[in-house]
Structure 1
Amino acid sequence: MSSIYQHFRPEEKPFIDTVFDWRHLVENTYSPKLTDFLDPRQQYILQSVIGEGGDIQFGLFGGQEQSERKRALLYPDYFQPEEEDFQVGLYEIEYPKKFVRIEHPMVLGSLMSLGLKRDKFGDILVGEDQIQFFSSKEIERFLLSELKEVGRAAVRLKAIPLTKAIETTEKWNEKEVSAASMRIDAIVSAAFNLSRQKSQVLIEQKRVKLNWKTVENPAAECMEGDIISGRRLGRCKIIDVLGTTKKNKARLKIGTKN
């Protein structure tokens, strides 16, 4: 058990311990355990801890195949999970489209203002004139009765089938790059074609996040599975660490999104 900690950051230890607790619960009760929504980094950690082919297995589902945030279901090997077991609901926001514009941050802010944690919500989907989001079905009644306003606009929330979800075609654009090191400033520089100095400035200005948390230290070390986002830059995912070049640079397989 202790050996797995060395592959992750010290601050990730509490979540690793939580995953072990979930596994032990399933082992002891021989019944499934459903989690809240996990971000991709948490999903990666869960996959690493649980592994594949053991007595305890897991599934991930966030509402649609390409969902980024997903709930995990841990279950004994006899159990055959169905989509309904993940208890993911889809909700559409009705608002006066001719008079107001509602954007992703406004929706997230309004949901959080209800006093619920971020892990109760999945992806927020934005179409030309539609806004939807995935959430835990366990809080559906509360959402339908309490979400009355987004920004300054009066809204009405309705539950709709998952098959009505706005389709997102956004995919990671994969490529191989060489970075001076595994420091975050070097990765940002290589991924987004910036100078090292510019990358350092962006980090020091708190405009870069590592696994959804603002990072201020340009020397912070990155690792496989990390997701880096920069304001007005997009996102970068470290898919694989391929080794080093002859000049001792890190060879990486990364994915980027605008």
Structure 2
Amino acid sequence: MNIYQHFRPEEREFIDQVLHWKDYVDSSYTAKLTDFLDPREQHILKVLIGENGNIKYQLFGGFSASERKRALIMPDYLMPGEDEFQINLIEIDYPIKFVSIEHPQVLGSLMSLGLKRGKFGDILMKDGRVQFFAASEISDYIKNNLESIGKASIRLKELSLDEAITTDDLWAEQVTTVSSLRLDTIISGVHNISRQKSQLFIQQGLVKVNWTSIENVSFECAEGDLLSVRGHGRVKILSIEGRTKKDKWRIVVGKQK
């Protein structure tokens, strides 16, 4: 069976990487810790590692509601603790009375340090407080090099993971049926807007899938995808449950409140 036929062509490199990690763990009896993975990458990893072999995985991103998570792939006899995921929580201290900091600014500033997106996890924001999770191996580099975000001079302080901000990032589960898994169709069905309007959003660059702007209206969505439409919030495709008697796709999504 060709494993690639079940995934997108652009995901082949990541599939090869996961299979390499699995072979490494199987042959060396040593655990492998990955970078932070987005929901779609987590789904691919779960499918490829499976649930019943002698290799298992565990996911953790810093706290229970994390979206981006590191995976620990390991022999089935290991029982890892949270500290083995090597995640640090960093808070941004800035003059909150005089400036505001937005999520894209934090993301852009971290990327401008030459870091891959996989080296840091969720960015948490509430009531002016800003925190982010980072891989332990690059935390010192960030603390030594990140001195400003936007117009704000900042200082960084490391906290314990249990000091993470509790955000109001609530997701409402919703079951819906759509005629196809095309991006324009799913956006139309989930947000209750016309296909023409959803196509316009996509063509105008207002839609992202897994943090990547997609302008192809016929892009095929899959389980684990995170869709965001500017002005309409975000949606996670939690599961695709097959076709109905009327030959429509039944999907379960988490819709951000």
Shared fold (TM-score, shorter chain, > 0.5) = yes
- The within-5 A match list for 1:77-226 is 77-226=76-225
Measured after TM superposition, the shift of residue 39 of structure 1 is 0.5
Measured after TM superposition, the shift of residue 247 of structure 1 is 4.1
Measured after TM superposition, the shift of residue 170 of structure 1 is 2.2
CA distance in 1, matches of 2:236, 2:197: 20
CA distance in 2, matches of 1:138, 1:40: 22
Q: In the alignment, residue 21 of structure 2 is paired with which amino acid?
A: W
- The within-5 A match list for 1:62-73 is 62-73=61-72
Deviations 1:34-60 (A, max 9, x none): 111000110000000001131111111
| 8 Å contact kept, 2:35–2:135 | yes
Deviations 1:186-211 (A, max 9, x none): 10000011111000101111111122
1:17 aligns to what SS in structure 2?
A: helix
Deviations 1:201-243 (A, max 9, x none): 0111111112222111111222222221111111122223233
Q: Of the two structures, which has the highest relative contact order with CA contacts closer than 8 Å and spacing of 6 or more?
A: 2
CA distance in 1, matches of 2:166, 2:200: 36
CA distance in 2, matches of 1:254, 1:215: 19
Deviations 1:146-180 (A, max 9, x none): 11111111100011111110012423211121223
CA RMSD across the alignment: 1.4
Which residue is equivalent to 1:57?
Answer: 56
Which residue is equivalent to 2:44?
Answer: 45
| 8 Å contact kept, 1:66–1:168 | no
CA distance in 2, matches of 1:128, 1:141: 26
TM-score (normalised: structure 1): 0.95
1:57 aligns to what SS in structure 2?
A: strand
Measured after TM superposition, the shift of residue 250 of structure 1 is 2.3
Q: In the alignment, residue 143 of structure 1 is paired with which amino acid?
A: I
Which residue is equivalent to 1:254?
Answer: 253
Structure 1 residue runs of 5 or longer lacking an equivalent are none
1:170 aligns to what SS in structure 2?
A: coil
1:7 lines up with 2:43 in the alignment: no
| 8 Å contact kept, 2:174–2:254 | yes
CA distance in 2, matches of 1:45, 1:112: 25
Deviations 1:109-136 (A, max 9, x none): 1111111111101000001031100000
Deviations 1:66-105 (A, max 9, x none): 0000111111122221111000000011111111111111
**Among the aligned pairs, what percent are the same residue?**
53
Measured after TM superposition, the shift of residue 245 of structure 1 is 4.1
Measured after TM superposition, the shift of residue 4 of structure 1 is 2.6
1:14 aligns to what SS in structure 2?
A: helix
1:6 aligns to what SS in structure 2?
A: helix
